[in-house]
Amino acid sequence: MTDDLLERAGALDAADPLAPMRERFLAPDDFDVVSYLDGNSLGRPLRATAQLMEEFIREQWAGRLIRGWTDGWLEWPERLGDRLGAVALGAAAGQTVIADSTTVLLYKLVRAAVDARPGRRTIVLDTDNFPTDRYVCEAVAAERGVELVWIETDPAAGITAEQVAEVVGEDTALVLFSHVAYRSGWVADMAEINRVAHAAGALTLWDLSHSAGSVPVELDAWGADLAVGCTYKYLNGGPGAPAFAYLRAELRDEVRQPIWGWMGHRASFEMGPGHEPAPGARALLSGTPPILAMVPLHANLDLLAEAGIEAVREKSLLLTGYVLDVADRWLAPLGVTVAGPRDPGRRGGHVTLRRPGFQQLLEPLWDSGVIPDYRRPDGLRIGPAPLSTSFAELHRGLEVLRDLVEKQP
């Protein structure tokens, strides 16, 4: 019998303007990967990244040694931050830096936001946000004596402006949400939630970890105050790559992060008494920048700029739409449900499939060269990366999944 889904995958690949980009990655044909479906957790490395890393070690690190700092390394957090802001975040220069881990930057910004709204005693967040976001808010609440106001969200959906409007008020210091929900892939209406929060006098902080490099973001135009996100997912920065932070320019004198290190000083090498924050987003820095870990971002931001975030989003929706079609045809009759939005306007870069017993399929999937992501209690996240995933690869992986589910009791 003809597999029309395979034929459709072939037609989509043939018509894909981003298809040539796939050859720039070290995957999947170079290794034993049949289908990589976890680009929303860790992106593949570029061939150019391997070359850049070797060149950096041999020429800049070994060749320039300590002189590399004055050759330009000291400016990398801001230069790469500005580039990322322009390519993927809709952020004008001077507002974004590459610095610590997402968790550390979240802590800095949550604490700074609460302190910037003295007298206000609550932080609003949702129950299904990523654990780090929730844990950091709990820690800051304990430190600063504020309370957490929880919005109950359906793990198959996400936060809405209407839910936010019901709980924010004159006592709200900060609202914190993910732009794309890590579990369901729900895309929040950032602009409208910002409007609701600002009407109550609160600041907004957005986690862009599942947005950056996949879903277009307009931080400036949508009125975001603060934002953070990782670079190892759709930005392909590598395991543990440093995160980014955004601070709206108008808030520079109002929001002061709590970890005062020498790199966030206005004149780091004066090494004088007292901390004087650097101008702009550089004040968000604390310690020595992780220069070696930033090297991959040079290549990946070049690639994203060449492709264009709108083209990436267009292919992402085609990929996730294909997942939904295959799930409806092959997997729904086997008891698999879709736990996330079908509306393209509310669908991020991944699709979550649910079925009891999925955890038992992880090992056989990996043994077959198919690598999705699992989230408790029973969800498989299918996260194709638009720049490195073909429709044929997606078909192969979902076909293996179907065959395994059919054999499962």
Enzyme catalytic residues = 130, 207, 232-233, 381
How far apart are the C-alpha atoms of 376 and 212, rounded to whole Å?
24
Q: Structure tokens of 275?
A: 């901390």
Q: What spatial distance separates the first Cα and last Cα of the chain, rounded to whole Å?
A: 26
How far apart are the C-alpha atoms of 377 and 359, rounded to whole Å?
8
How far apart are the C-alpha atoms of 120 and 367, rounded to whole Å?
53
How far apart are the C-alpha atoms of 200 and 197, rounded to whole Å?
5
Assess contact for 209 and 177: CB atoms under 8 A.
no
Closest by alpha carbon to 80, among 61, 68, 93, 69?
93
User: 107 exposed, middle or buried (CB, 10 Å; 0-12, 13-18, 19+)?
Assistant: buried
Peptide bond into 28 cis (omega under 30): yes
User: 75 exposed, middle or buried (CB, 10 Å; 0-12, 13-18, 19+)?
Assistant: middle
Q: Structure tokens of 380?
A: 């498989």
Query: For residue 292, what are the contacts with CB-CB under 8 A and spacing of at least 6?
Result: 56, 57, 61
Closest by alpha carbon to 316, among 262, 391, 247?
391
Q: In Å, how far from its chain's centre is CA 216? A: 11
Assess contact for 122 and 130: CB atoms under 8 A.
no
